[in-house]
């Protein structure tokens, strides 16, 4: 009789059992991106296999198992040749600028969860609002009591993230120059100050739950252990400027599983990458002064990096979303156009973006006070 071993996997939706004989029977995940290319497989990182990422088949699971490598900053898996339908669909903010819960006023930050729930920093309404898939109305998660500095108020929030381990929402409360934490559990009526006296704009969290914060006042990015006040500078910190060891108004950030920090260096019109422990950055998009050529960016803000190292950036003042493959000298436009407007294929200052599990693109259309979704094309190459 065969002897089988079991791995118990604790994930957000429960405990599942994976039946295997030995770790040597499982293929390794791709080293560059933890991907599994075999059909119906996903990547598992578990102590039984000494934390070596291995691919498993869903047929080997006792019930409903799914990949358990889940990054606090989710790394999208977008095919290299992916394209998106050019006419976007409004999925939040249908009724122009306003303060009702079906409206936004100059929204800025965006977080899309695995179930396609969106969380949006509704900047001039001084609140964080949630839209579940299919909703026509949002739910206020934090703030919403007018502009102010009380613990139940926010002042022009710009970004937020979800700490899934603690079920907390961490918010960049820019106007109050602080970072605050709000519980996502029902009944929460006020937040808690994590950091103060910091002119934050963007946030990220890595797999070790270190918090990364951009400080546009100091032109640097710092990393913090949750609960501690003294951070470590991981990018910039050498005054404003265009040298590779400098930043000028770093806005949004993206952190990958290697703790590499990607930064939208707004006033330098570029995206820079700072490897862990680096003393200077590497320009990976733009950096050719402001402009609308495909080698240029114009005041970029939001950015996402996929598992192939491709950078997707909100080229804000060019009213477009641009893709820069790893090592590329120029980008390609995947949504929007130079002319700003409110058409289905246009933006007025796109400021942030995200992807869902299927590769659909979500964009915060700041000037039109809405969020749009662009469906990924289902072709033979990227289905």
- Pair 296, 364 in one domain: yes
Could you tell me if residue 382 is inside a domain?
no
Q: What is the pLDDT of residues 360-376, one digit of tens each?
A: 999 999 999 999 999 99
Instruction: Name which of 372, 373, 371, 357 is nearest 121 in CA terms.
Output: 371
CATH assignment of the domain containing 152? 2.120.10.30
* Predicted pLDDT of residue 378: 84
Residues 267-271 have a mean pLDDT of: 98
Query: Has residue 68 been placed in a domain?
Result: no
Return the bridge partners of 332, or none: 323
The yes-or-no verdict on residue 43 having pLDDT over 50 is: yes
Same-domain check for residues 188 and 318: yes
More confident call, 54 vs 6: 54
Give the pLDDT confidence score for residue 185 in this predicted structure. 86
pLDDT at 46 over 80: no
Q: Which of 60, 79, 101 is the last residue of a domain?
A: 60
3-state secondary structure 269-328: CEEEEECCCCCCCEEEEECCCECCCCCCECCCCCEEECCCCCEEEEEHHHCEEEEECCCC
Average per-residue pLDDT for the chain: 86
**71 in any annotated domain:** no
Residue 165: what pLDDT? 86
Task: Indicate if 29 and 105 belong to the same structural domain.
Answer: no
pLDDT digits (tens, 9 = 90+) for 303-349: 999 999 999 999 999 999 999 999 999 999 999 987 777 788 899 99
On whether both 54 and 93 belong to a single domain, the answer is: no
Are 47 and 97 part of one and the same domain? no
Query: pLDDT for 83-107, tens place per residue?
Result: 999 999 999 998 999 999 999 999 9
Same domain, 218 and 153: yes
Tokens of 55: 């691919």
At 27, is the pLDDT very low, low, confident or very high (cuts 50, 70, 90)?
confident
The pLDDT tens digits of the residues spanning 149-164 come to: 999 999 999 999 999 8
Distances (CA, A) of 273 to 111, 270, 322: 21, 10, 17
Whether pLDDT at 19 is above 90: no
Contact present, 269 and 283 (Cβ < 8 Å)? no
Q: Is the domain of 53 the same as that of 120?
A: no
Say yes or no: 159 and 24 in one domain: no
Residue 163 and residue 44 share a domain: no
Looking at the fold, whether 43 and 151 belong to one and the same domain comes out as no
Coil, helix or strand at residue 343 = coil
CA dist., res. 140 & res. 153, Å (int): 12
Residue 319: what pLDDT?
A: 96
Task: Give the pLDDT of residue 34.
Answer: 60
380 inside domain? no
- Indicate if 49 and 149 belong to the same structural domain: no
Q: Number of folded domains in the chain?
A: 2
Has residue 313 been placed in a domain?
Answer: yes
Within-domain flag for 75: no
Determine the pLDDT at residue 158: 97
Report yes or no on 379 lying in a domain. no
179-220 tens-digit pLDDT: 999 999 888 899 999 999 999 999 999 988 999 999 999 999
Provide the pLDDT for residue 236. Answer: 98
Co-location of 42 and 179 in the same domain = no
12 pLDDT above the threshold of 70:
no
Answer whether residue 269 is part of any domain: yes
- For β-strands 210-215 and 220-225, DSSP reports them as antiparallel
Q: The domain containing residue 148 runs over which residues? A: 89-374
Report the percentage of the chain scoring pLDDT > 70.
82
Listed residue (169, 227, 220) closest to 195, CA to CA: 227
Residues 6 or more apart whose Cβ sits within 8 Å of residue 153: 126, 143, 145, 146, 147
């Amino acid at each position: 009789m065969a002897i089988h071993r079991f791995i118990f996997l604790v994930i957000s939706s429960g405990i599942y059992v994976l039946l295997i004989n030995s770790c040597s029977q499982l293929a390794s995940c791709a080293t560059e991106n933890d991907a599994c290319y075999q059909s119906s497989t996903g990547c598992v990182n578990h102590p039984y296999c000494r934390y070596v990422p291995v691919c498993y088949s869903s047929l080997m699971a006792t019930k409903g198992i799914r990949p358990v490598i889940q990054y606090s900053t989710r790394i999208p898996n977008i095919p290299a040749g992916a394209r998106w339908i050019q006419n976007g669909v409004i999925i939040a903010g249908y009724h122009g600028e306003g303060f009702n819960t079906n409206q936004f006023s100059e929204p800025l930050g965006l977080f899309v969860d695995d179930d396609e729930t969106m969380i949006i920093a509704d900047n001039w309404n001084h609140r964080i609002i949630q839209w579940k898939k299919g909703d026509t109305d949002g739910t206020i998660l934090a703030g919403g009591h007018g502009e102010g500095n009380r613990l139940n108020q926010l002042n022009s929030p710009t970004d937020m993230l979800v700490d899934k381990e603690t079920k907390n929402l961490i918010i960049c409360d820019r106007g109050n120059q602080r970072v605050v934490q709000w519980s996502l559990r029902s009944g929460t009526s006020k937040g808690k100050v994590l950091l103060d006296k910091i002119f934050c704009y963007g946030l990220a969290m890595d797999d070790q739950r270190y918090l990364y914060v951009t400080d546009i006042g100091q032109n640097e990015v710092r990393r913090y252990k949750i609960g501690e006040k003294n951070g470590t500078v991981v990018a910039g910190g050498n005054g404003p400027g265009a040298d590779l060891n400098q930043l000028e108004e770093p806005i949004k950030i993206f952190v990958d599983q290697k703790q590499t920090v990607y930064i939208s260096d707004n006033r330098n019109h570029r995206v820079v990458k700072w490897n862990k422990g680096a003393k200077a950055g590497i320009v990976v998009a733009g950096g050719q002064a402001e402009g609308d050529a495909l080698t240029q960016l114009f005041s970029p803000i939001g950015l996402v990096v996929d598992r192939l190292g491709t950078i997707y950036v909100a080229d804000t003042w060019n009213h477009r979303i641009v893709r820069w493959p790893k090592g590329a000298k120029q980008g390609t436009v995947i949504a929007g156009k130079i002319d700003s407007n409110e058409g289905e294929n246009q933006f007025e200052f796109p400021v942030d973006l995200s992807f869902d599990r299927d590769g659909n693109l979500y964009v915060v259309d700041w000037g039109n006070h809405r969020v749009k979704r662009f469906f990924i094309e289902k072709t033979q190459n990227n289905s």
